[in-house]
Structure 1
Amino acid sequence: MSIKRKYSRRKKASFPAILAGFLLILAAFVFSIRQLSQPVETTQVAGVTNEELNRKEFIEKLVPHAKELQKGYGVLPSIILGQAALESNFGQSQLASEYKNLFGIKAYGNVPKVALDTQEFVNEQYITIKGEFKVYDSWEASMDDHTMLFVNGVNWDPQKYEPVLLAKNYKVAANALQEAGYATDPQYADKIISMIEEYNLMQYD
């Protein structure tokens, strides 16, 4: 007696189901690639990048001492903060991070110093030269020396930065800095003003 075997028919997967599965796998793959390729420094948290957070933290760290210097000597905090941010790239430059010099203040005479490459605007073009810069123990010490430069001027011109101290707003002070020759950059005043306005530094004046 022969035994008849029953074979169950396999149900063929429908085309829509196959397509849906393929699209699901593709979406998961694309999402994974995007997550892996996302740079850490530009990851956004509540609409603010890590870089922006670091810049705000840098400014907030300097604000209390900048206000103290304003009370003692009259220099506008917005100018201190704007210059510090511009000159040091928010504390990230080698001169600022390793040698605590926030303002690119040059070294003269027998003081702690370091020689680093720097760009100067000469004969209508930027050139790279080796400059000697002061070395400080802290950012606060750098801020103190920066303010005293405004107060005391230089040996050959004690009133060199007096217009900066007398300025009642950041625009006048920034232009006074450029006129006094603080930096060789012909756009220096504009850059300081833009920095102050972008980060609303005049709120501390």
Structure 2
Amino acid sequence: MARKKKNQLKMPAIIVGFLLILVGFVFSLMSLSDPVNNNSPLVHQENEDMTKQEFIDRLRPHAEELQEGYGILPSIIISQAALESNWGSSQLAHEYNNLFGIKAYGNQNKVNLETKEYVNEQWITIEGDFRVYHSWEDSMDDHTMLFVNGVDWNPQKYEAVLTAQNYQEAAEALQEDGYATDPGYADKVIEVIETYQLDQYD
């Protein structure tokens, strides 16, 4: 009789132990699928309420590294990022780390969002696929490599942006090479640079 009772007591302990192991396993699976892991590009790494100076200070160190490596002027990188992302507060920049409105093609990691483009002398709203990045630095790298490598049909497309002697020349080259559909794009880039004295970083 006593032996039978002992076996009955062992069974609940085994079941409780098994349940604890199962709960631990489920929690470990949940942590693996947590969206804040390194494989997720949707980590909101930036404060969308940062001031304009904070935005400039945030981008400046990496912009200067890119100038050292590829010749692109930091004033151009920062001013374009400010214009394209509304100083880092746009949905594309804040949620998807895309500072420059760079489009996505093929199997690239992407999100579909509405955007405005200037077509036939008027602004229209269209939907487009945009690149999704792990960080703002990744977005800045891709932006620079667009100037370095050009596009499939014209590797030299943005060469004049890289070889420009100053930000005015670089901004005009952006316009002439068709970086944006906005006919006043060069003037807007120059205005941001001069208003916030971004050429001091060139």
Shorter chain as denominator, the TM-score bin is 0.7 to 0.9
Residues in 2 aligned to 1:53 and 1:182: alpha-carbon distance in whole angstroms:
27
Aligned counterparts of 2:160 and 2:88: Cα–Cα separation in 1: 27
**Paired residues for 1:2-151 under 5 Å:** 54-151=51-148
Q: Which of 147, 152, 155 is 2:149 aligned to? A: 152
**CA apart distance, 1:75:** 0.3
Task: Tell me the equivalent position of 2:6.
Answer: none
- How far does residue 53 in structure 1 lie from its aligned partner after superposition? 6.9
SS of residue in 1 equivalent to 2:108:
coil
Could you list the runs of 5+ residues in structure 1 that have no partner in the other structure?
A: 1-50
Contact 2:148 2:158 in 1 (8 A): yes
Task: Determine helix, strand or coil for the equivalent of 2:105.
Answer: coil
Q: Distance in 2 between matches of 1:52 and 1:135?
A: 21
Deviation by residue 1:45-100 (Cα, 9 ceiling, x = unmatched)? xxxxxx99711001100000000000000000000000000100110000000000
- Is the partner of 2:112 in helix, strand or coil? strand
Residue number in structure 2 paired with 1:21: none
Q: For residue 150 of structure 1, what is the amino acid of its counterpart?
A: F
Percentage of matched positions with identical amino acids: 71
Superposition misfits of 4+ residues, deviation over 4 angstroms: none
Contact kept in structure 1, 2:49 and 2:89, CA below 8 Å: no
| Stretches of structure 2 lacking an aligned partner (at least 5 in a row) | 1-47
The CA RMSD over aligned residues, in Å, is: 1.3
Secondary structure of the residue aligned to 2:118 is strand
Could you tell me whether the CA contact under 8 Å between 2:76 and 2:167 is conserved in 1?
yes
| Structure 1 residues 52 and 124: CA distance shift in structure 2, 3 A | same
- Number of equivalenced pairs: 155
* Aligned equivalent of 1:165: 162
Using the TM superposition, give the Cα deviation of residue 108 of structure 1 relative to its aligned residue in structure 2, in angstroms.
Answer: 1.0
TM-score normalised per structure 2: 0.75
Q: In terms of Rg, which structure is larger?
A: 1
